[in-house]
Amino acid sequence: MGKKKIEILVGAFVLLGMLGLVFLALQAANLGSVGGGDTYTVQARFDNIGGLKSRAPVRSAGVLVGRVTRISLDPASFQGVVTMEIERTFQFPKDSAAKILTAGLLGDQYVGLEAGGDDANLAPGETIAQTQSAVVLENLIGQFLTGRADSAGAGGAAAPGTGPGQ
């Protein structure tokens, strides 16, 4: 084989590798969606963040507008502090609300932003005041069970009086 031919083959090999990398980066991964754009940072404090993770999506009306970058615990108030980056093209009013929601029944948790009515927008670095914590399944079941027990207790106490005599 001539030297030229080998060089052409190696060039094709390297080019193929680059094409594979471009495919992996653009088609099979998230380069180009969120992360490369211009963003600003806001914070929100939650009583309970549930299973929220770093890099979880931030959505408004279901549309991806940013990502969670950092999660920490405020040592004074024992609240979870969620730091998120939002794309600069999306500006939200100052009184917007942040909720921790779940995609589907068993899906990942994400931050949902609901726009408020204030004229001023959230400035970079500001904290969202209105938040709603994640729904923790154990608490929910606990509430349901105590609710059941209460109504059953009330029903049980009423039953002898109202029921037909034996």
Partner 1 sequence: MEMLARLGAVALEQFRGWGHAAFFFMDLLRATPASLRRFGLVVAQVHAIGNRSLVIILASGLAVGFVLALQMYYALVTYGAAENLGLIVNLSLVRELGPVVAALLFAGRAGTSLTAEIGLMKAGEQLAAMELMAIDPKARVLAPRLIGGFVSMPILAILFSAIGILGAWVVAVLLIGVDAGNFWSIMQTGVDVWRDVGNGIVKSVVFGIICTVVALYQGHETEATPEGVAYATTRTVVISSLWVLGMDFVLTALMFSTP
Residue numbers of the site for partner 1 (CB under 8 A)?
A: 3, 6-7, 9-10, 13-14, 16-17, 20-21, 23-25, 27-31, 33, 53-55, 57, 64
Q: Which is nearer to partner 1, 17 or 124 (CB)?
A: 17
Can you name the residues that pair with 70 across neighbouring β-strands?
A: 83
Calpha distance 22→20 (Å, rounded):
5
Can you name the residues that pair with 46 across neighbouring β-strands?
A: 80
What radius of gyration, in Å, describes the C-alpha atoms of the chain?
26
Q: Which is nearer to partner 1, 16 or 73 (CB)?
A: 16
Q: How far apart are CB 125 and partner 1 at their closest, in Å?
A: 25
Q: Which is nearer to partner 1, 113 or 122 (CB)?
A: 113
Q: How far apart are CB 118 and partner 1 at their closest, in Å?
A: 30
DSSP codes of every residue in 43-71: EEEES--TT--TT-EEEETTEEEEEEEEE
Amino acid at 21: L
Q: Which is nearer to partner 1, 25 or 129 (CB)?
A: 25
Q: How far apart are CB 114 and partner 1 at their closest, in Å?
A: 21
Calpha distance 89→126 (Å, rounded):
17
Amino acid at 52: L
Structure tokens at 72: 């920490």
Q: How far apart are CB 36 and partner 1 at their closest, in Å?
A: 10
Q: Which is nearer to partner 1, 34 or 128 (CB)?
A: 34
Q: How far apart are CB 86 and partner 1 at their closest, in Å?
A: 16
Contacts of 128 (CB under 8 A, 6+ apart): 42, 43, 44, 96, 97, 98, 113, 122
